[in-house]
A and B are shown apart, each in its own frame.
Chain A
Amino acid sequence: MKQKASFQRYLNRFGWFCVLPSVILFGVFMLYPILSSLYYVTRRWKGMSNTFIGLGNFIRMAQDKVFLSALGNNFLFMVVQIPLMVFLALVLAVILNQGIRRWKGAFRLAIFLPAVTSLVVVSVLFRVLLQENGMLNNVLLKAHLITQPIGWLNDAAWAKVTIILAMTWRWTGYNMVFFLVGLQSIDPQIYEAAEVDGASKTRQFFTITIPLLIPVILFSVVTSTSGTMQLFDEPNILTWQGGPANATMTTALYIYRQAFFINADFGYATAMSYVVVLISGIFAFAQMRLLGDRGNS
């Protein structure tokens, strides 16, 4: 009995020894930065010097229209782009799963490819296509779909459309892969039964496929939400530093610019990060409650 207890203790100690490296790394790279950021938040930084300003950074944030409109842009992209992308990904997944018999792999690859392509590289091409005298406008003009060239990069409203299209281009394939996996786990007998009952393909999609895929959709929506809250590459490179005139500025980009370009004010940047993390958390929680409950019932 006694021997067993000491062996148990040895096992315990050995266990702790095994997890020690990761605990240390976690402490140094996660815990310490998080704790020290609490200190940063209360200060106004200017290069190497800083002064205590209490909640000043949060008051400043509430009055900073650039930050508030950046937050608004994040919400806009979220509300418009995520449903669009999820629906598109679902439809593509269903088509790839059922409709197409040949070249399935090639299509899958083609749709997934944007997700693994560097936007920095692609945006060079995109920018050429999207100029006022660029190819896209020329094609649309020639086809008489528009009468005036569209300012894809130059007009505040259209630049937002550009960002949404670019995000959709890049991430639809990625989410589609999850839906494809989800689809393959749905029992084909259900569809056969529906077929026998005379349900149309569209009806099957809305009453069988979507409800059974709710857990996957939930995953996709939650991760896309936090991804959109951190949206950085597209507005930084494609519409160039959140342009035109901050019309596509996002919080992540603004945080980066505050810390590394405009002011070297790490206190303010950290305070904004806190708000963004908090909002992302609330969203994830709300979505899981909302969709999660329905998924279980």
Chain B
Amino acid sequence: MSDNLTLPAQQGSTGASTEALLKVEGLTKHFPIYGGFPIKRKVGAVQAVDNVDLTVGVGESVGLVGESGCGKSTTGRLITRLLEPTGGKIEYAGQDITHAKRKQLAPVRSEIQMIFQDPYSSLNPRQTVGTIIKSPMEVNGINPAGGREKRVRELLELVGLNPEHYNRFPHEFSGGQRQRIGVARALALNPKLIVADEPVSALDVSIQAQVVNLLQKVQEEMGIAFLFIAHDLAVVRHFSQRVAVMYLGKVVEVGDRDSIYNRPRHPYTHALLSAVPEVAMDDETENRERIRLAGDVPSPISPPSGCRFRTRCWKAQDKCATEEPPLVQISGNRENHLTACHFPEEPSIEARSEDVVMDPALKALEKDGDVPKG
């Protein structure tokens, strides 16, 4: 991926502003690994996030998808500055916050908020709901008209909780309600950007929809930009105007939602989309395209040379090992649809003649009929 490529803000049908709120360039996070005896020294690094470029426009919601361990959450935590970036640049509203200290960050903190994945560990079990939601205002010294308590009650009502539950403790709520409390806390300061780190993946499916709808309502009514990190493609499709696909610390494809979902180019995006479970009638299952990737994601400690996906890619050739594909708009892509691939797939999700099975052992098994298809 080349350093100089920045994604233009999305120009989707929703008509969100093209002004960039958050601009990330070449963002890199390497976690050092120490070893050796008797003196410990750096023996390697987990390249969790490597040279990621990302832009989030004002009021825009960007989805960040990828499988476990691909660096999505690390990217989110770098942007909220919970982690110190190894390299690259994070610009918020034109201000460089890459290495800003706590005091310098103070004005920005109130504008960038985070929603966490696990509603059980993200709320302090020793504090009441009121205290939890009030604390952003306390920390930032904000006194809303009518007092903080009134504001907390408003927020509770906004996220669909009973304001009377002000004095309750988190363990008295269910997972979905706890996540609503987390949302209320994130909204307490009227943020401009919310980094939602898998906000619904820990929830029951029936409650996921409620929380996603709540987030969507908040996004639309309050004009808050979202960086929505998830591995659930259906949820991202529902929520995001633009989608970035990550693989092993890199963005491999990014574009408008419809472009990514209907005209994916990168083989990995194809594989991801084909893995989405779908409810289909019996006669339709025949047409389902399946791409089964072999093995595990390679270790981020020593990622493959060139294209990081080549070890699991069915189109990989010698070039993929030697040359890293840049994230560019390749021919056949729509505007703003960037793909990092030397040998992109056809821009369609039409069924293939045959499943792509990347694991020879699995294929042999299936031929014997031991493993049922689908």
- Asked if chains A and B come from one complex, the reply is no
A interface residue numbers (CB < 8 A to B): none
